[in-house]
Structure 1
């Protein structure tokens, strides 16, 4: 909290707090700062102090004042002079975009389009040492249980693979042993893929990027589920694609909306998370999957199936690629959620006629992928260590989910979707953009519902990570903040 100090005035402290959040993108472009009166009440200072702090932000070019509307974060990336170390200093300044058009849920907030780098920077920003409810990965303490990873790396690097994997670019499609192991794993979930149809990538995100760059060109329409993974919306927009949001329900995507898009725009691609959808936790029903595939056949588009959460999915979960046999579907997955986020190993499995084109795209972007880590991962899969670890993680997630749901309900929340997987889609009853900024003062980073829409809308929903919301301390802070903003 702000404290009186002979070294820094309350005005300076408040201005620095907002400036830091703007530069680290925790306050994204277009976000509205609290009103002067509201900010004074929240921070326990006088309105004069808030006005002076906002004036400092104006002078630094970080915010702009809009007549009778308040103060908004600006959206300009400006190169600053070289520092003493000779490195370019990049400051995130801003010039807010005009007010967004009406979206399907009502008036969007200014600066509605989500900035991809803003979201990614937020993933890396350490707010405090507290468990972070908005985190997208399992708790570090859980992942540390995978001690077999370091043993596999030592075994691989102790032999000739170290030299062979370091002094050449390796295999263009990825390590052959890993691709064989992945083909066997896909067969276990009834997806027929030969090793020659599998390409390893730098994480699942690059796999999605390869598919987009191969299948689409700037201006092409692409259907994406909404709510959905915010980075995917932003990534497609950065490539110049026309994002067509498809509402996602418990049984699957809204087929009527998809059919209408097909008639009006003839989209080339549909991106879907069939199993344990992020953020709702929904899994596609068999009937819904069949209808989506029939629509794809009728209107001649491909489907990218993002199975990022497949390792923690129920055994008999329905996947589009399983029913389709990789004819119109392209299967994407990775290991960041279950195993080692920084290993950045992902993969895609494509129809035979698309493999060479996608390989060309991979070669143009990264040449190859790290063979040593791929060989180590193949060893972990072949020895059953990954499977046993995934089973332990499923059990831990289930226990955490039970406890987190109890705490959330006791705190007055309700779940907008039946809790499943590692995330909960929670209705808080208040604007979660506002809630997010207040909880930062408490040391907690949450994921507001607006981040999961193609256009940034006022929203009372937030996504929580069950692994990081098991402690009553967070929910007590949540209740204090909610009481103060109602």
Structure 2
């Protein structure tokens, strides 16, 4: 908290607090700072102190003032300011409507939204559980079989052999073999020769984009959605076409219109336990998406990052398509070992060589030692049993978190499922996130999950990290003060 006994004035302390968060990208470009009156009330200082602090931020070029709207974080990158993009659109709904009517979709605007979310993953706001986290808590992932597998693959001649030469460009042969068996369990028929290992699922998505697209190509992406995907495609120069995601799947009418007007080359989808809503695709919607893909000649990339915590019978586009126009992507960071960075993609045979060429240009190969250790964990059934334990634990956590959220006055915008909850707080969650960060809690405000930054009352919570009643008690108090 600000203190009158510090060597810095209250104005300097307040300005420095905001400056640190802006430079660390914990406050993303386009974020609106609290009003002068609201900030003064929150911090227990005078309005004059807040005005002086905001003036310092203006002088440092960290924020900009918009007439009769307030102060907004500036884009510190070399690209066009987020304010310019925001001035061209009012809400995501109007932008989507413009696209459906055939107007050119806007640039993604807040291209560094993802930086705020990713930096938050590595920023330890406090020792408290973090509601905005995108991963399971470390103690949920602790196992004895992972270290044992590593010891086994490094205790023989294999360590030296694997260290002194490049591995197979496709990835460890044994891992690809057991992955093919695991995929068969969820009705995806693929041979090891169709599987390419990657440095995590994000790397797999990047390989696909760089292989199948060129700058300026239109790409359909679900919205709300994973902000890293918006930012990654934007950085590659793609034209992003946001598709509203509903409970049963993507908005098919919007997709149809995009196909007629923009001829997209790719559609990126999270079919199972969609991030951030938790929605799962229905068979009917999946069938229609594949019909559109065949008719309008685009590929579908299915990101199954959360498949390990999903029921095996969950609808997957790749199963229905048989890897004809679909590419399957997954990894093990969410369920087993985030720092191992082992992911993979499964592609139609005709795309394997082009995709492999892209991998070779970027990374040559992937480290085989951890791939060999992972193969052991899968083949011996240890990963399957671990995933079952995590699912059971997550179900209990979800029940508790939902109850606590509702008691705090929040509602769920989507039926709670999977790892994440899509919660409606009734207040601007950008502002709410700033208030909670003061108390040591990092939130994931809804604006982070849109291609164009826009005010939102929604936020994504991690069910595994929101079982602390103290967090919800504090949130309820902040919400009462904000309404």
Using structure 1 for the length normalisation, give the TM-score.
0.94
Map of 2:227 onto structure 1 = 230
Q: Residues 45-96 of structure 1: CA distance to partner in whole angstroms, max 9, x if unpaired?
A: 0112112212222232222233433222222348xxxxxxxxxxxxx99784
Q: Which residue of 1 aligns with 2:102?
A: none
Partners of 2:298 and 2:474 in 1: CA distance = 47
Residues 82 and 110, structure 2, Cα contact 8 Å, conserved in 1:
no
Distance change in 2, residues 1:277/1:93 (3 Å)? closer
The match for 2:137 among 136, 139, 142 is: 139
Corresponding residue of 1:62: 62
The 8 Å contact of residues 92 and 452 in structure 2, kept in 1 or not, is answered as no
Change (3 A) 1:221 1:143: same
Offset from partner CA, 1:162-220 (integer Å, 9 cap, x none): 11111111110100000001101001100011100000000000000000010100000
Deviation track 1:257-292 (CA, whole Å, cap 9, x = no partner) reads 111100001111100111111111111111111111
Q: How does 1:321-336 map to 2 (within 5 A)?
A: 321-336=318-333
Q: SS where residue 271 of structure 2 aligns?
A: coil
Provide, for residues 335-374 of structure 1, a one-character-per-residue CA deviation record: whole Å limited to 9, x for no partner.
0000011111000000000000000000111111111000
Structure 1 equivalent of residue 99 of structure 2:
none
CA distance in 1 between partners of 2:273 and 2:171 (Å): 27
Q: CA, structure 1 residues 301+415, in 2 after alignment: closer, same or farther (shift >3 Å)?
A: same
**Secondary structure of 2:267 counterpart:** strand
Q: What 5-or-longer segments of structure 1 have no aligned partner?
A: 79-91
8 Å Cα contact 2:176-2:192 kept in structure 1: yes
Which of 292, 303, 308 pairs up with 2:305? 308
Alignment pair present for 1:433 and 2:421 = no
CA distance in structure 1 between the partners assigned to 2:447 and 2:194 by the alignment: 37
Corresponding position of 2:412: 415
Residue 103 of structure 2 is matched in structure 1 by: none
Runs (4+) of structure 1 exceeding 4 A deviation are 92-96
Q: Distance between the aligned counterparts of 1:381 and 1:153, measured in 2?
A: 13
Look up the SS of the partner of 2:84 in the other structure. coil
Q: Is residue 37 from structure 1 mapped to residue 34 from structure 2 by the alignment?
A: no
- Distance, in Å, in 1 between the alignment partners of 2:81 and 2:125 is 22
Normalized against structure 2, the TM-score is what? 0.94
Instruction: Report the counterpart of residue 19 of structure 1 in structure 2.
Output: 19
Distance 1:122 1:323 in 2: 37
- Equivalent runs, 1:161-310 vs 2, <5 Å: 161-310=158-307
Is the 2:108–2:451 contact (alpha carbons within 8 Å) kept by the matching residues of 1?
no
Residue 485 of structure 1 pairs with residue 482 of structure 2? yes
Query: What's 1:100 paired with?
Result: 88
Q: Which residue of 2 is the match for residue 126 of structure 1?
A: 124
- Alpha-carbon shift at residue 126 of structure 1 (Å): 1.1
Corresponding position: 1:117 with 2:105: no
Distance 1:357 1:155 in 2: 34
Q: CA deviation at 1:6?
A: 4.1
Deviates more, 1:64-73 or 1:387-396: 64-73
**C-alpha displacement of 1:112:** 4.6
CA positional deviation for 1:111: 9.5
RMSD: 1.9
2-structure distance, mates of 1:309, 1:107 = 29
User: For the residues of structure 2 that align with 1:412 and 1:35, how far apart are their CA atoms?
Assistant: 24
TM-aligned CA distance change 1:342 to 1:219, over 3 Å: same
Q: Secondary structure at the match of 1:72?
A: strand
Q: Residues 107 and 382 (structure 1 numbering): CA distance in 2 closer, same or farther, change over 3 Å?
A: closer
The alignment status of 1:359 with 2:367, answered yes or no, reads no
SS of 2:65's partner is strand
1:415-443 CA distance string (max 9 Å, x none): 11111111111111111111111111111
Gaps of 5+ in 2: 97-106
| 8 Å CA contact 2:446, 2:460 repeated in 1 | yes
Q: Is 2:334 the counterpart of 1:337?
A: yes
Q: Does 1:370 align with 2:358?
A: no
Q: How many residues align?
A: 471
CA distance in 2, matches of 1:388, 1:287: 32
Contact 1:228 1:452 in 2 (8 A): yes
Structure 2 residue aligned with 1:49: 49
Distance 2:270 2:444 in 1: 19
Q: Is 1:455 aligned to residue 443 of structure 2?
A: no
Counterpart CA distance in 2 for 1:289 and 1:212 is 22
- Report the equivalent of 1:86: none
The more displaced of 44-53 and 64-73 is 64-73
Query: Which residue does 2:385 correspond to in 1?
Result: 388
